[in-house]
Every structure is written in structure tokens, then in C-alpha cells.
Structure 1
Amino acid sequence: MRKPRDYDAELKALEDKAKNLKARKVQQLGELVIATGADTLTRDELAGALVAITENKDTAKREAWAKRGAMFFDSRSRRSASAPHRNTGRAPTQPGSAQSPSGSTVTQ
């Protein structure tokens, strides 16, 4: 004879898993805000910038932002990695310069 399934326990386990995933996502987003220095912005500035980004449908701008984000993470991992040299196929960022959202490089 088969053991009956405990649907309540399964549902509770799924709810707990969803809650943990949501908490981890919120934590990672907070860490991202801090890592990028966006924690210096006001709540309204950060929200406005994020709304503007999500409303932007310009594919070229979004690709430029994605490349800049990948370079950001690549440079962070390069700083923390013990390997002295890694070639990922991406152009390294230039010290003392920043890339504008349009993809052009701006010297500071």
C-alpha cells in the first residue's frame, strides 16, 4: 500500500523555498547597489534611474550598459582573483575613465 502524500508539508516546503529565494534576491540586489556605489544616491534618485533604464527600449544603449556591467564584474573578480592574468576577451577599462550610459568613454 502506498503512503499518502502530505500536501500541506509539500506546500509549506515550497513556500519556505520561495521565501528564501526572495530573501536571497533582495540581499544580492542590496549588495549590488553597495558594490556599484549607488548607495550614495537618494532613494528617489536610484528609483528614478532604475525606472528610466527599464523604460529605455534602445537596444544599443542596453547593450552598452550590459558591456559596462560585465566589465565592472570582470574588474572586481580580477582584483580578488589570485591569478595574475586572465584573458576573457573583453577590453579592460582604462584607469581614470568612465563609460557613459550611451557607451562612450568619458575621462574624469
Structure 2
Amino acid sequence: MRKPRDFDAELKALEDKARDLKTRKVQQLGELVISTGADALTADELAGALIVLAETKDVGKKEAWAKRGAAFFRGGSRRSAPAPDRNTGGTPTQPGSAQPASGGTGAA
């Protein structure tokens, strides 16, 4: 005779796995923010930039961002090549500074 399935135990195991995956995703997103240098932004600046990125429908911009992201992950050192629209003065942008939020050049 077959042993009956313990649906409660299976459901709990799936819930635990889902919670672990969500925790790992949040941790990886935080590591990504730090490794890209975006942790120098305020939470409001970062949220605003991410909202604009998520709302963008321009396929060309998204492709350019994807290429730049792929190059970032392939690169040996994460911050070695300064981006053309980044502040390369060596000091992080402080909240309330005169630098425009768009990065200055409008390039994708």
C-alpha cells in the first residue's frame, strides 16, 4: 500500500524555498547596487532612476543599457572604466549638488 502524501509538509517546504529565493534576490540586488556605485545615491535618487528605467519603452535605450550591463559583468574590476556620463572627479555626488539627475549628457 502506498504511503499517503503529506501535503502540509510539501507546502511548507515550498514556502521555505520561496522565502529563501526572495531573500537571495534581495541580497543580490543590494550587492548589485553597491558594486555599481549606486549606493552613493540617496534612496530617493535611486528609486527615481529605477522608476524611469522601468517605465522606459525605448528599445534602443534598453539594448544599450543591456550591453553596458553585460560589459560591467564581464569586466575584471567593476569600476575601472569610467562611464562617459559619470562624475569622474573622484568625489561622489552629494545630495543637493549642482549635477543634473540625468547624468548631464542625456546619453543612454
Q: TM-score band (shorter)?
A: 0.7 to 0.9
Higher relative contact order (CA 8 A, sep 6+): 2
Q: Equivalent residue for 1:22?
A: 22
Instruction: State how far apart, in whole Å, the 2-side matches of 1:72 and 1:99 are.
Output: 14
Q: Tell me which amino acid in the other structure corresponds to 1:74.
A: R
Q: Matched residue pairs, number? A: 87
Q: Give the strand-richer structure, 1 or 2.
A: 1
Preserved contact between residue 64 and residue 102 of structure 1 (Cα < 8 Å)? no
1:67-78 correspondence runs (5 A): 67-75=67-75, 78=76
Normalization by structure 2: what TM-score?
0.74
| Structure 1 unaligned spans of 5+ | 81-93, 104-108
Q: Which structure has greater helix proportion?
A: 1
Aligned amino acid, residue 40 of structure 1: A
TM-score (norm 1): 0.74
Indicate if the aligned counterparts of 1:38 and 1:46 stay in contact, CA closer than 8 A: yes
What's the secondary structure of 1:2's corresponding residue?
coil
The corresponding residue for 1:54 is: 54
Q: Which runs of 5+ in 2 are unaligned?
A: 86-105
Q: How does 1:27-106 map to 2 (within 5 A)?
A: 27-75=27-75, 78-79=76-77, 95=81, 97-100=82-85, 102-103=107-108
